[in-house]
Chain A
Amino acid sequence: MKGSLILLSWFVLGVAAGYSGWVPEAVAEEEKLALYALYVLIFLVGMCVGGDTRALRNILRLKARGLAVPLLVGLGSLLGAGALALALDAVSFREGCAVGAGMGYYSLASVLASQLGGAQLGGITLLANLLREVLTIALTPLMVRSMGQLAPIASGGATTMDTTLGVIHRQVGASYAVVAVINGLVLSLLVPVLIPLLLG
């Protein structure tokens, strides 16, 4: 949770700096700076993924049952957000799906969405996925009682391999914690692929 607050404070600091005009307008409107920073970020994330060969091997070894969980969680997230977009008409269906494709990985999802879909979509993506993490941490016990042990894993999305893993492990035990890690790993890999595909 501390990590989330630190990241959120960077965003709030940015809003404050932009609103008050501390930063020269030329810098605030310079899109190239953010774009190059995004390329560097994607490259670093990819290297960390590639460097973790044990995790990659675990994914490749998965059978249908193991892969069904993250794939259905991801599909459900996309379709749920897409359906809401159709109902609200505030964003397009593809943009709605892209917000859902964040899967709780709000840091990467929001910067991708802001670069590919504009600052407002980036803001919506940040808030939706940040709230997803908070919701999972807060409601895991209730979800386990009412919808079973897989519910917090579905709710947490990509965060189930790190920030929400502790609370999930405490509530559902070690066997489901393994499912949670694999779920988070696969969904984290899908985020940088799905959002550009949906907004491209």
Chain B
Amino acid sequence: MSCSTLFAARLSRLSRSSPEGTRGRITDHQERGNPIMLQILSIFGLSIIVGVMLRHRHRFLTWCSRAADWAVCLMLFLLGLGLGASDRLVGNLATLGWLGLAFCLASVAGSLLLIWPVYVRWFRGRL
């Protein structure tokens, strides 16, 4: 069985086990409204203002940067924990990998496609 056939078969199996109303989807949260969005955007906007106010406190900002690195590690650990604790998600890890690769190639191709005319018009032979 070729790779693409195998991938399509796995996707179709996932579709059958999806919750109702999400035909063909392997994700599980897409239809709900999300109040977290507003909170995240507000926190981001507020924190930029706080950052501007504290721009001369270099030592504090360096500490913030390090703390952000540790927060990312914690968040990635928790993301992995959520995936690992669910049998359904662990069973789909290979499919997630293929999807990740496919989305990577698609987003890179999209960027390259849109940037090509800009390169030809404004950059080629000028920088």
Contact = CB atoms under 8 A, between A and B. Distances in A.
Nearest to B88: A120
Which of B44, B55, B67 lies at the interface centre, i.e. has the most chain A CB atoms within 10 A of its CB? B44
A187 B18 CA distance: 33
Contacts of B109: 80
Contacts of B29: 116-118, 121, 199
B30 A42 contact: no
A157 B111 contact: yes
Bin chain A's interface residue count. Answer: 35 or more
Given A77-B111, A151-B112, A84 B103 contact: yes
A18 B97 CA distance: 18
B84 A15 contact: yes
Contact of B115 (A107, A111, A123, A150): A150
Given A111-B72, A200-B37, A50 B50 contact: yes
Contacts of B61: 47-48, 51
Nearest to B101: A131
Bin chain B's interface residue count. Answer: 35 or more
B3 interface: no
Contacts of B49: 50
Contacts of A48: 51, 61, 64-65, 68
Interface in B78-103: 78-86, 89-90, 92-93, 96-97, 99-103
A98 B71 CA distance: 21
A39 B39 contact: yes
B100 A123 contact: yes
A197 interface: yes
A127 B97 contact: yes
A108 B72 contact: yes
Contacts of B119: 147-151
Contacts of A68: 118, 122
Contact of A110 (B28, B38, B40, B76): B76
Interface string B6-26: 000001001100000001111
Given A72-B118, A107-B75, 8 more contacts: A10-B74, A18-B83, A23-B81, A35-B36, A43-B50, A68-B118, A108-B72, A127-B104
Q: Closest 8 A-B residue pairs measured CB to CB?
A: A50-B51, A80-B110, A14-B80, A18-B84, A127-B100, A46-B47, A200-B37, A76-B114
